[in-house]
Amino acid sequence: MCAALIAFMFAAEHPSRSSRPLPPSTGLHVSGGTVVEGNGSRFVMRGVSHSYAWHKDQNQAFADVKRLGANTVRVVLTNGTGAGEVADVIARCRTNRLICVLEYHDTTGHGEQRDAVTLDAAADYWTGLRDVLAGQEDYVVVNLGNEPYGNGDTSGWAGATKAAVRKLRDAGLRHLIMVDGPNWGQDWSGVMRGNAASVLDSDPRHNVVFSVHMYGVYGTASKVTDYFDAFRDAGLPLVVGEFGWKHTDGDVDEDTIMREARSRGIGYLGWSWSGNSGGVEYLDLATGFDPDRLTEWGRQLFDGPDGIRATSKEATVYRDRPAVA
C-alpha cells in the first residue's frame, strides 16, 4: 500500500515523457505566440508565394523576390513534385538567403474541389520526403496542406490536422509546421480559431503556426483586427499565409492587413509572384515574372509603407553561418 502511494506521488510529480511536449528542433520553432529561429531571434515572415509546380522554368523568381526585399518564399508543390525537385527548391532558397515555406497544394478545397486529397494524404507526401527535409529545420517550414477544406462540412478539420501532424512527428520530422484554416483558408467559420490551442497542444513538439488566408471575407478593418485579436489574446502563433488586394469574393482590406501585421509582428505572404490564370490574373505581383514590371498590387506589397521592403528582416541563420553547407 505504501509502495503504491509512493509510486503514485512520483508519477504525479514526474509525468511520463510521452505526456510532455518534446523540445522543438534547433531550427525555426514556436515560442509562446511567436515564431523564432534556433538562436531565439524572432522571425517575421515577409514574402510571397511562387507557383513552382506550374512554372518550373521560372527559377529566377527566387533571386528576384529576394532582390525586392523578401525574407521568405512560399513554394507551391504537388504530388508530382519529386524529392529531387524539392531538394533543388530548398537549395535555391538557401542560395538566395530565403526561408523556404514548402506548401502541398493538392488538398485545396477538399470536400468541394474535385480530386482534392485529404490531409492524411498530404502527410504521406511529407513523410516520403523525410530524407530530403532532414537537417533543414533552420531553413524550411512545412505547410501541411493548402486550404484543406472548402466551405462545406469543416467539422473534421481539427482531428485531421492533429492526426497529420502526428504522422509527420512519428516519421521523425521536427520542422515548424504551418497549418491552413478551412473555408478555403479563410476560416470564416472560426473552426481553426476555436481549435488552434488543442492542435498546438497535441503536437509532441509544440511547433505549429496557424495560417489564415485573407481575401474577400476580410474586407473591413474590424474583420481583420478581430481575427488577429483572437490569436493574440490566446497567445497563439499566426501568419497571413496568403492574401491579395481584391478577389472574386470581394474587396480585401489589404492596407489594414499589412499595417496591423507590421504593428503586431505577424508574418505575411502575398499571393502570388506571377503566372495566375483563370480570371485572377489581377493577383500577379509581377507581369510576366519580370521584377522590373511590378503590377499595382506588386508595388503596394513590396513598396508600400507597410510593405516588404520597409518591414522585412533577413533570417539571422544566414548571418550566423554560410547560406549553403
- β-partners of residue 99 are 72
Task: Tell me the whole-structure pTM to 2 decimals.
Answer: 0.92
Q: What is the pLDDT of residue 14?
A: 34
Scanning the structure block, which residue is given the C-alpha cell 524550411? Answer: 140
| Cell output for 105 | 497544394
Q: Return the ∠ at Cα 153 (arms to 148 and 155), rounded to 5°.
A: 80
Q: Is 292 exposed, middle or buried (0-12, 13-18, 19+ CB in 10 A)?
A: exposed
Q: What is the pLDDT of residue 9?
A: 35
Give the β-pairing of 29-31 and 34-36: antiparallel
Q: What is the pLDDT of residue 5?
A: 35
The DSSP secondary structure of 231-282, one letter per residue, reads HHHHT--EEEEEE-SEETTEE--HHHHHHHHHHHT-EEEES-SS---TT-GG
Distance CA 28, CA 101 (A): 11
Q: Is 64 helix (H, G, I), strand (E, B) or coil?
A: helix
Q: What is the pLDDT of residue 26?
A: 73
Q: What is the pLDDT of residue 11?
A: 35
Scanning the structure block, which residue is given the C-alpha cell 506589397? Answer: 301
CA atoms within 13 A on the CB side of 214: 32
Give the β-pairing of 246-247 and 29-31: unpaired
Q: What is the pLDDT of residue 322?
A: 55
pLDDT tens digits for the chain (325 residues)? 334 333 333 333 333 333 445 554 579 999 999 999 999 999 999 999 999 999 999 999 999 999 999 999 999 999 999 999 999 999 999 999 999 999 999 999 999 999 999 999 999 999 999 999 999 999 999 999 999 999 999 999 999 999 999 999 999 999 999 999 999 999 999 999 999 999 999 999 999 999 999 999 999 999 999 999 999 999 999 999 999 999 999 999 999 999 999 999 999 999 999 999 999 999 999 999 999 999 999 999 999 999 999 999 999 999 866 544 4
Distance CA 284, CA 35 (A): 28
Question: 48 with 73: CB under 8 angstroms?
Answer: yes
> Could you give the residue numbers annotated as active site?
147, 242
Q: Is 42 helix (H, G, I), strand (E, B) or coil?
A: strand
What are the backbone angles phi and psi of residue 159, rounded to the nearest 5°? -65, -40
Return all residues near 88 (Cβ < 8 A) that are at least 6 apart.
none
